[in-house]
Amino acid sequence: MSERTLDDVMDSLSHLLDDFDSVARSAHERYRAYPPAILIEHSPRAAATCTYDHMVAEADRRFFGRPDVRSIDMRGLKLWLVGDHSVVRLKKMDEDGVSRNYPTKQAKDFDAGEELPGLPLAPTRLSVGYLLDPTGTQFVRSQIARPHGRKALWCAAIIPTEQREAGKRAWRDVTRQGSFGR
C-alpha cells in the first residue's frame, strides 16, 4: 500500500480537527488550572503525564458512541481508530511532531508501522497532540504528525476556529524542510 499524502490524511480527518484541537487545548488548560503550589512540584514528565491523562479522558468523552471513531486499549497503548483509514495516539510533541519520551515496545511498533495485535496494518498511524513554548507552560498549538520511527514524515498544525479564514483549510503544513532523516 502506498503512503497517503499529508493532504489526503488531513482531508479525511477534517470533520474531527476541532475535536482534536479541543482535546489538546482543554487538557492543557485543565492541567494549568492546578494550584501553583502543585504545579511547581511537577517535573516536565509529571506535567506531560497529567496532561496526557486529561487528553485521554476528554477524547473518551468526545468520541464515545461515535460510529466513525473507536477506542482501543492495547496493553496500555491507548488508540483511536478513525473509520478504516487512520489510527491515532495522543502525545506531547516537539515542533517537528516528534515525541521525546522513552517509548514502550508498543509505541515503537506503532511508530514503525509494525503489526499490533488487533489492529489492521492498513490505517495510517498518526500522533495527535500539542506543542508547548520553551518554558513548558504556554500552549503553542495542536498538531497532527505522521510518525516514522524516531522521526516524523510530516507535521500539520490545527488552526483554531477563531483564527480560520473563511473557505480556507483548518490546518497548515508546519513540516520543516530537512527535518526528516536528521
What pLDDT score does 149 carry?
82
Q: How confident is the prediction for the chain on average, in pLDDT?
A: 89
What pLDDT score does 182 carry?
43
pLDDT, tens only, 33-61? 999 999 999 999 999 999 999 999 999 99
C-alpha 25/C-alpha 128 separation (Å) is 12
Closest by Cα among 145, 138, 43, 46 to 91: 145
C-alpha cell, 137: 507552560
What pLDDT score does 84 carry?
85
Span 106-115, average pLDDT:
65
pLDDT, tens only, 11-33? 999 999 999 999 999 999 999 99
What pLDDT score does 3 carry?
82
Of 22 and 116, more confident: 22
Closest by Cα among 17, 26, 152, 164 to 93: 152
**Sign of dihedral through CA atoms 157, 90, 27, 42?**
negative
pLDDT, tens only, 60-86? 999 999 999 999 988 778 999 999 889
CA angle 91–92–95, rounded 5-degree value: 120
C-alpha 77/C-alpha 154 separation (Å) is 22
Which residues, 6+ apart, have CB-to-CB distance to 45 below 8 Å?
101
In single-letter form, the type of residue at position 63 comes to: F
Helix/strand/coil (H/E/C) assignment for every residue in 78-140: EEEEECCCEEEEEEECCCCCCCCCCCCHHHHHHHHCCCECCECCCCEEEEEEEEECCCCCCEE
Q: How many CA atoms lie within 13 A of 182 on its CB side?
A: 10
Residue 102 pLDDT more than 70?
no
pLDDT, tens only, 127-174? 999 999 999 999 999 999 999 888 999 999 999 999 999 989 999 999
Residue 181 pLDDT more than 60?
no
